[in-house]
Amino acid sequence: MWESTICTAFKAHENGVTRTAPIPMPLNVTRSAFVRLLLLAAGIGPLMAAQAQAQPPIVIKFSHVVATDTPKGKAADHFARRAAELTGGKVRVEVFPNSQLYRDKEEMEALQLGAVQMLAPSLSKFAPLGVKEFEVFDLPFIFDNPQELQKVTNGPVGQALLGKLETRGITGLAYWNNGFKVMSANRPLKTVADYQGLRMRIQSSKVLGAQMRALKATPQVLAFSETYAALQNGSVDGTENPPSNLYTQRMHEVQKHVSLTYHGYLGYAVVVNKRFWDGLPKDIRAALTQAMAEATQVANESASKDNQAALAAIRASGKTQIHQPSAAERAQLKAALLTVHKEMAGRIGDETIQDIYQATGFQAPRPH
């Protein structure tokens, strides 16, 4: 009777962990001391559970350079929310948008050093790591539409490119889309001659440099966070970006003309510090992989909608004239820019370019 009373009390406090054998009372202990011991032990279970719950969460610092109301911004926030939900709060993703923590170049260094765990840099920003093949995405007119692009990013070529980051201490998790770029300046950009002599801000990509030089413009590499000020103070004349970036950075307020050239692509690789990622418990990594798949869908579904909405807002602002190139203007621009494919084959690697041509069915137009 005594033993069963003690055991029942013990079980009730063990939070579901059942003990089938009665607990014998040691001979050298008084009954009241034994009761005190059992009560103490009974208290340890809930305490340990509380301690497990109070374990500090795994923190992922996710730095990026764009506004929150862009495809990347929305996808990063979605990932943060789902990561917390799917891991039951064991992971906390802290998102730092708008270059709050780091600018373009610094964020790559911070990732490699482990000062942040996750980024989603534009594909144009990977070559400085020594993975020049990523600049293939910058080749003008290489993709005609998002479907062609997805054949690459969802297929073996895209996955092989992500794999090349491993030797740099980086694991590629996903590609996020942001759509096709337009050109802007303070003068109308209709014919190729209109670009001549303009100082055009670009990302740190040699292919983008070659692209601007093919138009007889002068490329100037600048961090994304510095672009608005540079356009405003006139240290550069123009730039290129998808409309959602242009609008959310208010670049249209300091650019009188936008031309809907859609000459090149801008997308992201979501990357994580490899040592951090490999060191995560398996179940946490699986939950984060699921959260990332959902966030990827958010980015990819937002890109086209956000760009359309941004163009409408730019138009409505009345600050910028939007030019839709005619078929002849677009053909002229395309002919001028396709020269960059051959010119940059040595840098990117002809094999990578051919792989993409094959995946998309790209065919260079015959010269007239």
- On the 0-12 / 13-18 / 19+ scale of CB atoms within 10 A, 94 is middle
The residue among 200, 141, 182, 188 whose CA lies nearest residue 311 is: 182
Tell the smallest beta-carbon distance from residue 303 to ligand SIN (Å).
11
Binds ligand SIN by CB under 6 A, chosen from 6, 58, 60, 65: 65
Q: Reduced to 3 states, what is the DSSP secondary structure of residue 169? A: coil
Q: Does residue 203 interact with ligand SIN by CB under 6 A? A: yes
Tell the smallest beta-carbon distance from residue 223 to ligand SIN (Å).
7
Measured from the Cβ of residue 54, the count of other Cβ atoms closer than 10 Å reads 7
By the 8 A CB rule, do 323 and 259 touch? Answer: yes
Residues in the chain: 368
> Which amino acid is located at 88 in the chain?
G
Helices (H), the chain: 2-13, 31-53, 71-86, 104-113, 146-153, 156-163, 206-214, 224-233, 243-248, 274-278, 282-317, 327-343, 345-348, 350-360
User: Which residues, 133 to 192, sit near ligand SIN by CB under 6 A?
Assistant: 178
* Binding mask of the shown chain, residues 328 to 357, with x at each position contacting ligand SIN by CB under 6 A: ------------------------------
Closer residue to ligand SIN in complex, CB, 107/329: 107
Q: Does residue 245 interact with ligand SIN by CB under 6 A? A: yes
Helix (H) or strand (E) holding 366: none
Tell the smallest beta-carbon distance from residue 178 to ligand SIN (Å).
6
Q: Does residue 205 interact with ligand SIN by CB under 6 A? A: no
Closer residue to ligand SIN in complex, CB, 65/288: 65
Closer residue to ligand SIN in complex, CB, 189/270: 270
Measured from the Cβ of residue 88, the count of other Cβ atoms closer than 10 Å reads 10
Q: Does residue 300 interact with ligand SIN by CB under 6 A? A: no
Binds ligand SIN by CB under 6 A, chosen from 241, 259, 296, 302: 241
Residue 205 DSSP label: -
Binds ligand SIN by CB under 6 A, chosen from 137, 224, 262, 265: 224
Interface with ligand SIN: number of residues (CB under 6 A): 8
Q: Does residue 122 interact with ligand SIN by CB under 6 A? A: yes
State the maximum Cα–Cα separation within the chain, in Å, rounded to a whole number.
104
Closer residue to ligand SIN in complex, CB, 153/241: 241
Q: Does residue 215 interact with ligand SIN by CB under 6 A? A: no
Q: Which residues here bind ligand SIN, judged by CB under 6 A?
A: 65-66, 122, 178, 203, 224, 241, 245
